[in-house]
Chains A and B, each alone.
Chain A
Amino acid sequence: QVQVKESGPGLVKPSETLSLTCVVSGFSISSDYYWAWIRQPPGKGLEWIGTMYHSGSTYYNTPLKSRATISVDTSKNQFSLLLTSVTAADTAVYYCARRGLYGDDSSGWYFDLWGRGTLVTVSS
Protein backbone atom coordinates (compact mmCIF):
# COMPACT_ATOMS: atom_id res chain seq x y z
CA GLN A 1 0.00 0.00 0.00
CA VAL A 2 1.43 3.33 -1.03
CA GLN A 3 1.44 5.82 1.79
CA VAL A 4 3.36 8.68 3.32
CA LYS A 5 3.61 9.37 7.03
CA GLU A 6 4.92 12.37 8.91
CA SER A 7 6.85 12.21 12.16
CA GLY A 8 8.64 14.61 14.44
CA PRO A 9 8.44 16.42 17.78
CA GLY A 10 5.06 17.84 18.63
CA LEU A 11 6.52 20.77 20.55
CA VAL A 12 9.25 23.17 19.51
CA LYS A 13 10.50 26.22 21.39
CA PRO A 14 10.44 29.66 19.79
CA SER A 15 13.58 30.56 17.83
CA GLU A 16 14.54 26.89 17.51
CA THR A 17 14.46 24.66 14.42
CA LEU A 18 11.48 22.50 13.52
CA SER A 19 12.50 19.15 12.05
CA LEU A 20 10.05 16.73 10.43
CA THR A 21 10.45 13.51 8.46
CA CYS A 22 8.15 11.89 5.93
CA VAL A 23 8.55 8.17 5.39
CA VAL A 24 7.37 6.89 2.03
CA SER A 25 6.06 3.30 2.00
CA GLY A 26 5.21 1.00 -0.87
CA PHE A 27 6.84 3.31 -3.38
CA SER A 28 10.33 4.45 -4.27
CA ILE A 29 11.12 8.04 -3.46
CA SER A 30 13.57 7.94 -6.35
CA SER A 31 10.80 7.53 -8.91
CA ASP A 32 9.67 10.35 -11.18
CA TYR A 33 7.48 12.01 -8.57
CA TYR A 34 8.11 15.21 -6.65
CA TRP A 35 7.52 15.37 -2.90
CA ALA A 36 6.09 18.24 -0.88
CA TRP A 37 5.41 19.76 2.51
CA ILE A 38 2.17 21.61 3.19
CA ARG A 39 0.91 23.02 6.47
CA GLN A 40 -2.34 24.16 8.06
CA PRO A 41 -2.39 26.49 11.09
CA PRO A 42 -5.23 25.81 13.53
CA GLY A 43 -8.51 27.04 12.12
CA LYS A 44 -6.89 28.28 8.92
CA GLY A 45 -6.32 27.14 5.37
CA LEU A 46 -3.60 25.13 3.72
CA GLU A 47 -0.24 26.67 2.86
CA TRP A 48 2.25 25.14 0.45
CA ILE A 49 5.75 25.14 1.94
CA GLY A 50 7.89 23.59 -0.74
CA THR A 51 8.50 20.75 -3.18
CA MET A 52 11.54 18.68 -4.02
CA TYR A 53 12.74 16.07 -6.50
CA HIS A 54 14.94 13.19 -5.40
CA SER A 55 17.80 14.66 -7.40
CA GLY A 56 17.81 17.60 -5.03
CA SER A 57 15.90 20.23 -6.99
CA THR A 58 13.78 22.24 -4.60
CA TYR A 59 11.14 24.94 -4.84
CA TYR A 60 9.86 27.00 -1.92
CA ASN A 61 7.01 29.33 -1.09
CA THR A 62 8.54 32.80 -1.14
CA PRO A 63 7.59 33.83 2.45
CA LEU A 64 9.28 30.70 3.84
CA LYS A 65 12.18 30.42 1.44
CA SER A 66 14.77 31.87 3.80
CA ARG A 67 13.84 29.51 6.66
CA ALA A 68 12.80 26.25 5.01
CA THR A 69 14.97 23.40 3.74
CA ILE A 70 13.64 20.19 2.21
CA SER A 71 16.04 17.31 1.75
CA VAL A 72 15.88 13.66 0.77
CA ASP A 73 17.44 10.46 2.09
CA THR A 74 16.95 7.92 -0.68
CA SER A 75 18.58 5.15 1.38
CA LYS A 76 15.76 5.45 3.93
CA ASN A 77 13.07 6.31 1.38
CA GLN A 78 12.19 9.45 3.25
CA PHE A 79 12.40 13.19 2.98
CA SER A 80 12.60 15.92 5.58
CA LEU A 81 11.70 19.49 6.40
CA LEU A 82 13.76 21.88 8.47
CA LEU A 83 12.22 25.22 9.43
CA THR A 84 14.49 27.59 11.33
CA SER A 85 13.76 30.40 13.76
CA VAL A 86 10.20 29.29 14.43
CA THR A 87 7.58 31.45 16.09
CA ALA A 88 4.05 30.82 17.29
CA ALA A 89 2.89 31.57 13.74
CA ASP A 90 4.54 28.32 12.65
CA THR A 91 2.19 26.28 14.85
CA ALA A 92 0.32 24.06 12.41
CA VAL A 93 -0.50 20.59 11.22
CA TYR A 94 2.27 19.69 8.79
CA TYR A 95 1.48 17.38 5.89
CA CYS A 96 3.81 15.61 3.51
CA ALA A 97 2.45 14.83 0.07
CA ARG A 98 3.30 13.48 -3.34
CA ARG A 99 2.95 15.71 -6.36
CA GLY A 100 1.11 14.27 -9.32
CA LEU A 101 2.88 12.81 -12.31
CA TYR A 102 3.01 14.59 -15.65
CA GLY A 103 1.45 12.58 -18.44
CA ASP A 104 -0.81 12.67 -21.50
CA ASP A 105 -3.83 13.59 -19.42
CA SER A 106 -2.15 15.10 -16.39
CA SER A 107 -0.19 18.25 -15.75
CA GLY A 108 1.21 16.88 -12.51
CA TRP A 109 0.53 20.22 -10.81
CA TYR A 110 -1.48 18.79 -7.90
CA PHE A 111 -0.96 16.55 -4.88
CA ASP A 112 -2.37 13.06 -5.21
CA LEU A 113 -1.18 11.39 -2.02
CA TRP A 114 -1.17 12.95 1.44
CA GLY A 115 -0.22 11.88 4.94
CA ARG A 116 -2.55 12.39 7.87
CA GLY A 117 -0.42 15.21 9.16
CA THR A 118 1.39 15.90 12.40
CA LEU A 119 0.67 18.78 14.74
CA VAL A 120 3.62 20.93 15.69
CA THR A 121 3.15 23.50 18.41
CA VAL A 122 5.66 26.31 18.91
CA SER A 123 5.68 27.31 22.55
CA SER A 124 8.10 27.82 25.39
Chain B
Amino acid sequence: QSALTQPASVSGSPGQSITISCTGTSNDVGDYDFVSWYQEQPGKAPKLIIYDVSRRPSGVSNRFSGSKSGNTASLTISGLQAEDEADYYCSSFTGSATYVFGTGTQVTVL
Protein backbone atom coordinates (compact mmCIF):
# COMPACT_ATOMS: atom_id res chain seq x y z
CA GLN B 1 0.00 0.00 0.00
CA SER B 2 1.64 3.25 -1.14
CA ALA B 3 1.48 6.40 0.95
CA LEU B 4 -1.14 8.96 0.02
CA THR B 5 0.33 11.92 -1.86
CA GLN B 6 0.37 15.36 -0.26
CA PRO B 7 2.20 18.53 -1.28
CA ALA B 8 5.44 18.88 0.67
CA SER B 9 4.66 22.41 1.73
CA VAL B 10 1.92 25.02 1.67
CA SER B 11 2.16 28.56 2.94
CA GLY B 12 -0.13 31.49 3.49
CA SER B 13 -0.42 34.81 5.23
CA PRO B 14 -2.40 35.30 8.42
CA GLY B 15 -6.09 35.48 7.69
CA GLN B 16 -5.84 33.69 4.36
CA SER B 17 -7.23 30.28 3.51
CA ILE B 18 -5.09 27.39 2.38
CA THR B 19 -5.98 23.94 1.10
CA ILE B 20 -3.94 20.76 1.41
CA SER B 21 -4.67 17.92 -0.97
CA CYS B 22 -4.36 14.22 -0.25
CA THR B 23 -4.42 11.96 -3.28
CA GLY B 24 -4.90 8.24 -3.07
CA THR B 25 -6.45 5.56 -5.22
CA SER B 26 -9.76 3.82 -5.75
CA ASN B 27 -8.61 1.30 -3.11
CA ASP B 28 -8.41 3.81 -0.30
CA VAL B 29 -9.54 7.45 -0.49
CA GLY B 30 -11.79 6.79 -3.46
CA ASP B 31 -13.47 3.77 -1.93
CA TYR B 32 -14.14 4.89 1.63
CA ASP B 33 -15.42 8.02 3.33
CA PHE B 34 -12.99 7.35 6.15
CA VAL B 35 -10.32 10.00 5.65
CA SER B 36 -8.83 11.67 8.71
CA TRP B 37 -6.39 14.53 9.18
CA TYR B 38 -3.79 15.07 11.89
CA GLN B 39 -1.83 18.10 13.04
CA GLU B 40 1.71 17.49 14.21
CA GLN B 41 3.65 20.14 16.08
CA PRO B 42 7.14 19.77 17.59
CA GLY B 43 7.14 18.28 21.07
CA LYS B 44 3.42 17.60 21.02
CA ALA B 45 1.34 14.51 20.43
CA PRO B 46 -0.27 14.44 16.99
CA LYS B 47 -3.80 15.80 17.11
CA LEU B 48 -6.86 14.59 15.24
CA ILE B 49 -8.51 17.55 13.49
CA ILE B 50 -10.83 15.92 10.95
CA TYR B 51 -12.34 12.43 10.74
CA ASP B 52 -14.68 10.70 8.32
CA VAL B 53 -13.73 13.21 5.59
CA SER B 54 -15.42 16.26 7.08
CA ARG B 55 -16.32 15.73 10.74
CA ARG B 56 -14.58 17.81 13.40
CA PRO B 57 -13.83 16.44 16.87
CA SER B 58 -15.09 18.41 19.80
CA GLY B 59 -12.76 21.29 20.60
CA VAL B 60 -11.25 21.62 17.13
CA SER B 61 -11.64 25.05 15.56
CA ASN B 62 -14.25 25.39 12.84
CA ARG B 63 -11.53 27.05 10.76
CA PHE B 64 -10.57 23.50 9.82
CA SER B 65 -12.74 21.75 7.25
CA GLY B 66 -12.44 18.65 5.12
CA SER B 67 -13.86 17.40 1.86
CA LYS B 68 -13.38 14.69 -0.74
CA SER B 69 -13.82 14.29 -4.46
CA GLY B 70 -12.98 11.02 -6.13
CA ASN B 71 -9.56 9.83 -5.06
CA THR B 72 -8.55 13.17 -3.54
CA ALA B 73 -9.36 14.50 -0.09
CA SER B 74 -8.69 18.06 1.01
CA LEU B 75 -8.13 19.95 4.21
CA THR B 76 -8.87 23.66 4.24
CA ILE B 77 -7.67 26.01 6.94
CA SER B 78 -9.56 29.29 6.92
CA GLY B 79 -8.42 32.46 8.65
CA LEU B 80 -4.88 31.13 8.91
CA GLN B 81 -3.22 31.83 12.26
CA ALA B 82 0.36 31.57 13.46
CA GLU B 83 -0.64 28.68 15.73
CA ASP B 84 -1.64 26.66 12.64
CA GLU B 85 1.99 26.31 11.63
CA ALA B 86 2.59 22.56 11.76
CA ASP B 87 2.89 19.40 9.72
CA TYR B 88 -0.40 17.93 8.55
CA TYR B 89 -1.02 14.31 7.63
CA CYS B 90 -4.00 12.67 6.02
CA SER B 91 -4.94 9.05 6.52
CA SER B 92 -7.39 6.68 4.90
CA PHE B 93 -8.95 3.40 5.82
CA THR B 94 -7.95 0.82 3.21
CA GLY B 95 -10.19 -2.09 4.08
CA SER B 96 -9.74 -5.08 6.40
CA ALA B 97 -8.98 -2.81 9.37
CA THR B 98 -5.88 -1.37 7.73
CA TYR B 99 -4.76 2.20 7.15
CA VAL B 100 -2.43 4.30 5.05
CA PHE B 101 -1.05 7.74 5.85
CA GLY B 102 -0.12 10.61 3.60
CA THR B 103 3.37 11.91 2.92
CA GLY B 104 2.78 14.98 5.05
CA THR B 105 2.55 18.72 4.38
CA GLN B 106 4.44 21.44 6.17
CA VAL B 107 2.27 24.53 6.64
CA THR B 108 4.09 27.82 7.03
CA VAL B 109 2.40 31.02 8.12
CA LEU B 110 4.20 33.90 6.43
Contact pick for A106, options B3, B44, B52, B93, CB 8 Å: B52
Contact pick for A59, options B1, B3, B98, B100, CB 8 Å: B98
**What is the 8 Å Cβ interface bit string for chain A, positions 102-118, against chain B (1 contact, 0 not)?**
00011101111011110
Contact pick for B104, options A46, A115, A116, CB 8 Å: A46
**Which are the 5 A-B pairs with shortest beta-carbon distances?**
A110-B36, A109-B93, A109-B34, A46-B101, A110-B51
**Interchain CA distance A48-B89 in the complex, whole Å:** 12
**What is the 8 Å Cβ interface bit string for chain B, positions 86-105, against chain A (1 contact, 0 not)?**
00010101001111111110
B33, closest chain A residue (CB): A107
Distance in Å: Cβ of B40 to nearest Cβ of chain A = 8
Q: Residue B48 at the A interface, CB < 8 A?
A: yes
> Please, could you name 8 A-B residue pairs with CB atoms under 8 Å apart, sorted by A?
A46-B89, A59-B98, A61-B98, A100-B51, A107-B51, A110-B48, A110-B91, A116-B45
**A interface, CB within 8 angstroms of B:** 38, 44-48, 51, 59, 61-62, 95, 97, 100, 105-107, 109-112, 114-117
**Cβ–Cβ < 8 Å partners of B104 in chain A:** 44-46
**Cβ–Cβ < 8 Å partners of A105 in chain B:** 52, 55
Contact pick for B51, options A44, A45, A106, A117, CB 8 Å: A106
**Cβ–Cβ < 8 Å partners of A44 in chain B:** 104
Contacts across chains A and B counted by CB atoms under 8 Å: 77
Q: Are B99 and A109 in contact (CB under 8 A)?
A: yes
**What is the 8 Å Cβ interface bit string for chain B, positions 39-59, against chain A (1 contact, 0 not)?**
000011111100110010100
Q: Are B43 and A116 in contact (CB under 8 A)?
A: yes
Q: Are B48 and A112 in contact (CB under 8 A)?
A: yes
**Cβ–Cβ < 8 Å partners of B103 in chain A:** 45
**Cβ–Cβ < 8 Å partners of A59 in chain B:** 96-98
**Interchain CA distance A105-B103 in the complex, whole Å:** 27
Given contacts A59-B97, A105-B55, 13 further A-B contacts (CB under 8 A): A47-B101, A51-B97, A62-B1, A95-B46, A97-B46, A106-B52, A107-B34, A109-B32, A109-B34, A111-B38, A112-B51, A114-B47, A116-B43
B48, closest chain A residue (CB): A112
B:1-58 near A, CB below 8 Å: 1, 3, 32-34, 36, 38, 43-48, 51-52, 55, 57
